[in-house]
Amino acid sequence: MSGSGSKRTLGAAAIGNFGEQYDFAVFGFAMPVIAAQFFPKGDAVAALLSTFAIFAVGFLARPMGGLVFGYLSDRLGRVKVLTLTIWLMAAGTGTIGLLPTYDAIGLAAPVLLVLCRLTQGAAFGGEFTGSTTFVLESAPDDRRARWVGINHCIGNVPIAGVALTLFAFQYAVGKENYLAWGWRIPFLLGSLIGVVGYLIRRSVDDPEEFKQATRGRTATNPLRAAARGGLKPMLHVALVMPIQAVAAYLLIGYMYTYMVREAHLDAGTALLANGAGIGIYAILCPIGGALSDRYGRKPVMSVGALWIALVAYLSLHLASGGSPYGAFAGQILLGIGIGIYAGPATATTVELFPTSFRATGHAIAYQVTVAILGGTTPLICGWLVSVLHSPMAPAWYVTGFAILNVLIVQFVPETKGIRLRTSVVDANPLSMNLASDTPRTSAGEAR
């Protein structure tokens, strides 16, 4: 694949992931404001926990969205479905920016907010699986994890960018105006990403790997195929994902609110510190992926999980101390481990499935795991702090999952060099070795 073709492929995939992560980041950073705007005044803790619950609701729709759009992706093609999910994402985000508040329509306000989050979640369920699958199948075989890591990086860069943008925007309009109406602007801007994404995606085609795998096949049901041959790969995804889901959404969905409420940092400092951590996480995703292309997925994932286990307590301790320097250092330490782990882990979760039902199998396993563990992380961490009266409670929660993942990732198949067409479902040692020994100079070869 030419350099311009590679850039177009990565750009088309990443724009939707960019938009989805932007949507979730805007909601995460706006949670203290949303709690005040969409729930009754009087009990700030209850309102914030309710907002965390609505954040989690978006994840409940991800498995269903992933199942529907993953199935359609395997049946109709990768690009057709990706153009649909990006429009759905834009609609959910833009509508939040237009919703009336609790003072205007009462309980209908949080109900409408829940519906918007369900729409976002359904779109994200299809978008992440679709874009990751599209990138994996388009990449040269010896750089698959690097390409997936780049896609993941571009998807998470806007989260750091959102932090910086909100910091500048709050400063420009003033705190009072931001609380009154300014919080709506980032949501409205998010809807424009759908337009840009559609224009980019209509210029690309399905990967050769997918077209070759489906050329001349009889009508098959990807869901039936996944149920028949994909249960073990789905279990392996569930073994890979816990620490990535918990640690990433601790950083993305909880730490900003944590630093404001528990460390009593001003909102601007908290935004910048959180943005720094997320930025490091994003930058290290392709680096972790590239290392796993060279040394294998499992060794690099083990290093990332071990890093998180070692620094989780220190990260929370630094972030909770009230010092801006400690906040930055704590966020960056946590971001390093997540980035190292996420690059190879994301590639592994899609490589585990064969091309014929890759999107369906991945969507079910990945989105269910992330919904259960990632979507509930801000709510559980907020609840632990409230119940145990300790700002360090989330650290033990993350450390436990990190230690667990260091152990259980050893039971996951190594997917570096696996043949995508059959993957681990039908692969045997001979076919894996043949795939590894075949020259991989361009996408579509040695697959």
Q: What is the pLDDT of residues 69-81, one digit of tens each?
A: 999 999 888 888 8
Computed on alpha carbons and rounded to an integer, the radius of gyration of the chain in Å comes to: 21
B/e letters for 384-422, b = 16+ CB within 10 Å, e = fewer, are: bbeeeeebebbbebbbebbbbbbebbeebbebbbbbbbb
Q: Regarding predicted confidence, which is higher, 399 or 436?
A: 399
Is 80 exceeded by the pLDDT of residue 32?
no
pTM value > 0.85: no
Q: How many angstroms separate the CA atoms of 355 and 399, rounded?
A: 35
Is 70 exceeded by the pLDDT of residue 59?
yes
Q: Regarding predicted confidence, which is higher, 162 or 33?
A: 33
Is 90 exceeded by the pLDDT of residue 348?
yes
* Residue 384, amino acid: L
Is 60 exceeded by the pLDDT of residue 431?
no
* pLDDT at 428 (0 to 100): 43
Which one, of 348, 342, 245, lies nearest residue 286 by Cα? 342
Q: What is the token pair recorded at 259?
A: 């630093």
Q: What is the pLDDT of residues 214-259, one digit of tens each?
A: 776 655 688 888 888 889 999 999 999 999 999 998 998 889 888 9
Is 50 exceeded by the pLDDT of residue 333?
yes
Q: How many angstroms separate the CA atoms of 423 and 429, rounded?
A: 11
Is 80 exceeded by the pLDDT of residue 443?
no
Which one, of 148, 204, 207, 201, lies nearest residue 355 by Cα? 207
* pLDDT at 441 (0 to 100): 38
Q: Are 90 and 190 in contact (CB under 8 A)?
A: yes
DSSP string, 86-116: HHHHHHHHHHHTT---HHHHTTHHHHHHHHH
Kindly state the average pLDDT of the residues 10-14. Answer: 74
Domains of the chain: 3-208+222-437 (1.20.1250.20)
* pLDDT at 149 (0 to 100): 93
Q: How many angstroms separate the CA atoms of 278 and 161, rounded?
A: 9
Is 60 exceeded by the pLDDT of residue 318?
yes
* pLDDT at 425 (0 to 100): 66
Q: What is the pLDDT of residues 97-139, one digit of tens each?
A: 899 988 899 889 888 988 888 888 888 888 888 889 999 999 9
Give the model's confidence band at 7: pLDDT under 50 very low, under 70 low, under 90 confident, else very high: low
Kindly state the average pLDDT of the residues 376-386. Answer: 88
Kindly state the average pLDDT of the residues 32-37. Answer: 82
Q: What is the pLDDT of residues 227-236, one digit of tens each?
A: 888 899 999 9
